[in-house]
Structure 1
Amino acid sequence: MKDGPGTILVGIDGSTSSLRAAAYATGLARRQGSKLVALYVRTRPSALLPLADTGGAVATVLDTQDAVERELRTMFVERLADLDLDAHLVVRTGEPYAEIVDAAHELRADAIVVGRSTQALHRIAGSLGSKLMRCGRWPVTVVP
């Protein structure tokens, strides 16, 4: 019998804090013998953006998300290949909070790890980590 989470879900987006969260979750999963699922959520450009886009902003957003996804896949394979760890990278498109909640339900996650938001607006409106904590369904760790 194992004492600790069976499945740990970590949200990653390529930011420094999300990469710290991934490192923390990886160590936790290794120590606990847990399954690790890293979730990258690609956001959809606003539906109105193509109407006003004269400079290729939509293409730039999509190219940036493609680059982040490639980088995460490469890091995931290179860094976790040597570890004896049941780890998977999942990529979804949508709103990060909703996709993390859906993935946590589907995977029957026992814990969620996310990085701290660096956006000033989130201090007022609420960050992803605080929304997940208010949801109250899983233990949430927010890594600075």
Structure 2
Amino acid sequence: MTEQHEQHAHQFERGTDGPKVIVVGVDGSDSSLRAAAYAGGLARRQRALLAVVYVQPVLAAGAALGAPVAETTDEIAEDLVSYIREAAERVRGIFEVRWEFHTFRGDPYNGLVKAADELKADAVVVGASEQAGHRIIGSVAVRLVKAGRWPVTVVP
């Protein structure tokens, strides 16, 4: 009987391993919305909490011209929350996912690192960069992977 118990103790248990908190970075871009959809599927299958994170820039180019940056980024955050709520309502009863929306301030990389740390993320999902300049200086996704602190999935 002991031998049989030891065999069971070393077997993989489907559905018990995996992330409990999945952080996904969204900024309204097509790739970030694809990342959110992908992360939503992961969260559903793993029964994990999906933490949707928008990082509001502290300063932007418009700030030098006197543009109300805080109001603009608050509007983006509100639009993202509305979009996510509408998407969640459309699939209610078919595709159930526990999710929360969080806003952090800063540059995208440091904001996502702070979010993943504070939310105790087991995994981070981001969209691939759509900016050509990131091939030279490195995208947020590449920097997150290089940090080596969580499994990172980059969605094209």
CA distance in 2, matches of 1:133, 1:73: 27
Q: Indicate yes or no: 2:124 matched with 1:112.
A: yes
Matches within 5 A, 1:1-144: 2-46=16-60, 49-50=63-64, 53=65, 56=66, 58-59=67-68, 61-81=69-89, 82=92, 83-144=95-156
Aligned with 1:36: secondary structure?
strand
Q: Conserved in 1, the CA contact under 8 Å of 2:126 and 2:155?
A: yes
Query: How many correspondences in the alignment?
Result: 138
Aligned with 2:133: secondary structure?
helix
CA distance in 1, matches of 2:82, 2:62: 33
- After TM superposition, the score normalised by the length of structure 1 is 0.87
Change (3 A) 1:46 1:21: closer
CA distance in 2, matches of 1:119, 1:47: 16
Higher Cα radius of gyration = 2
Identity %: 48
Letter in 2 for 1:18: S
Change (3 A) 1:7 1:65: same
Change (3 A) 1:47 1:115: closer
**Which ranges of structure 1 fall in alignment gaps of 5 or more residues?**
none
- After TM superposition, the score normalised by the length of structure 2 is 0.81
Q: String of CA shifts for 1:34-83, please: whole Å, max 9, x gaps.
A: 11000001102259944xx2xx4x22x44442332121111121222424
Calculate the aligned-residue CA RMSD, in Å. Answer: 1.9
